[in-house]
Chain A
């Protein structure tokens, strides 16, 4: 079945630094990947749609200059949280659409201290 690999699974960073999260489709090509954020005890909220070879589409209220998305190949999308602040601490999950529908990565728990 379709597998999406996400790294790192957990990261702690200092306020003001940047963090990059990678999302890879391992056995299929994904022209579109999605990035979600989940705060504690809340549901997943779509942040942006990552399109291979073109600019990402951001949901309302998500700062594109803060959450940089790059989708340079059909198997890799990256999300960079720039100038991270404690309020950016959250669970970030990527997803890709393949033959079996929507497949999720294992998520990245970001803690900004």
Chain B
């Protein structure tokens, strides 16, 4: 059975801090790992990672995948209160005809 485990489940930091969110996975026929940000409604896409060791960046957010260790991290630097959200990690399998398997998410709270 496919498994995606995120840690920590919740995190409270102060504005300006840097945070690292973790995601480990066990999945057959791995194709991609995706990070999403979920506020009140549907998840919004952040990153899709398919290759090991290649960092993807978007502003203050960055992510990297380690396919040997079956692990990914999401970094957020200089956090702002608008970064408060649930961050979801999901894994897709080869073929693209399968839905995603999601982790439980990390509930991030940024305090002013």
Contacts and interface: CB of A to CB of B under 8 A. Distances in A.
A93 B36 CA distance: 14
B100 A95 contact: yes
Chain B, interface size category, equals 20 to 34
A102 B100 contact: yes
Interface string A31-58: 0101010000011111001000000000
Contacts of B90: 44, 102
B16 to A, nearest CB: 27
Chain A, interface size category, equals 20 to 34
A74 B90 CA distance: 25
Contact of B42 (A32, A42, A45, A106): A106
Interface string B73-112: 0000000000000001010100011111111110000000
Nearest to A4: B42
Contacts of A15: none
B48 interface: yes
